[in-house]
Structure 1
């Protein structure tokens, strides 16, 4: 297997595939890459739970994911995995998907991780195994300041999922803004980086237009509470 690393295109820009959850961290990372003179974002890659037809972990409908990608003007590449997916099945599905991008000349995948070193190490290992390099555009950011800048830049997002072991169900569906920061328990990371909550971004400076959504029903599965987001109109 070729040694992983950045592959510049004819303009000297590095082609990058964005690991995409639809949430705020990956969206800010994407926005920075889109503004970078050194990178060309060639698409979004998202894992979708086949059984639920939704973004894995975040629980957002595929129809909204498609609208989000269209508003961002980027190709969407979906990787389908089963519910209760093992690491082996996930890694095999991701490896198959990444092979096509690597063969097409894109050998870098960007992630929106902020500070979890063990997750970063896992991603580095998985990417290297597939002949790819990992990029972390927002790594090391202060998470409270991150949310404040997110709001100030004009991004808009809603919490789609909360971990009930760490956060009350009433937070599902809340907007990502300073009001949320004021209400979060002190032990909860402002960005939910420890898995306390997940989000869906429906507007921002990198969107050609907003993705209209309305709040739907609340569903609890085990320790997770999901607030359904419905396409509006």
Structure 2
């Protein structure tokens, strides 16, 4: 795939799936220009993982990519995504971390097609065990910073610790948390020039989820 003149972006959550997808894609593409992250309508936290801007910015700096952030309610999410594609990545390549949510892949391919963006899904239909094993074998490190309420005992655990993996198995949940059981923030690994020194500064709850407030 000829990529020299194409803008390449990662749809970046700050968590393990987008990190592993980027790591796989870089082995072929050799570069990433932009980490694109969608924040909620307050522009305070990432929509899925509840991460602050300073974490996303630090990750992008360590990876060596430009961070672009847009903010949206669910009702305006597609509009904001399309505006990003139009302004920055027409005829380019997007890297996504979906595993098997067909509805989301269909959406990604539809909106990317609007501006002739090639959507890559490096993790698609891979076994959960294989993905998690690869993530850890590659040397990534991640902390669980959001869970559904019923799995809050995972909160604050480091994913690479054997006790965390045993707890995930004990809870009998999706190993990758693909149904929203848990979310992570990645703070070290092969795509980073240096580790991100994260600290836990608090926590908060919503009706369905528990979150850690993290900073650097």
TM-score by length of 2: 0.90
The residue that corresponds to 2:154 in the other structure is 171
Partner Cα separation in structure 2 for residue 204 and residue 7 of structure 1 = 26
For residue 214 of structure 1, the aligned residue among 178, 199, 209 is 199
- CA offset at residue 39 of structure 1? 5.2
CA distance in 2, matches of 1:7, 1:112: 22
Q: Give the structure 2 partner of residue 3 of structure 1.
A: none
CA–CA separation in structure 2 for the residues paired with 1:52 and 1:28: 25
Q: Who is 1:40 aligned against?
A: 31
2:8 aligned with 1:21, yes or no? no
- RMSD value, Cα: 1.9
Aligned equivalents of 2:39, 2:106: Cα separation in 1: 23
Counterpart CA distance in 1 for 2:25 and 2:16 is 14
**Alpha-carbon distance in structure 1 between the residues aligned to 2:136 and 2:4:** 34
Cα offset, 1:196, TM superposition: 1.1
1:52 deviates by: 5.3
What is the match of residue 100 of structure 1? 87
Q: What is the CA distance between 1:180 and its match in structure 2?
A: 2.0
Q: Which has the higher helix share?
A: 2
Per the alignment, residue 67 of structure 2 pairs with 76
Contact 2:151–2:181 under 8 Å retained in 1: no
1:159: how far off?
1.1
How far does residue 7 in structure 1 lie from its aligned partner after superposition? 7.1
Query: Do the aligned residues in 1 keep the contact of 2:8 with 2:89 (CA within 8 Å)?
Result: no
The reply on whether 1:160 has 2:125 as its aligned counterpart is no
How far 1:100 moved relative to its partner?
A: 1.5
Match of 1:135 in 2: 120
Shift of 1:186: 5.2
In 2, are the aligned partners of 1:15 and 1:107 still within 8 Å (CA)?
Answer: yes
- Work out the CA distance in 2 between the residues paired with 1:86 and 1:65: 20
* Residue from 27, 52, 58 that aligns with 1:61: 52
Task: Give 1 or 2 for the bigger CA radius of gyration.
Answer: 1
Residue 150 (structure 1) shift: 1.4
The Cα shift of 1:35 comes to 2.0
Unaligned runs of 5+ in 1: 1-5
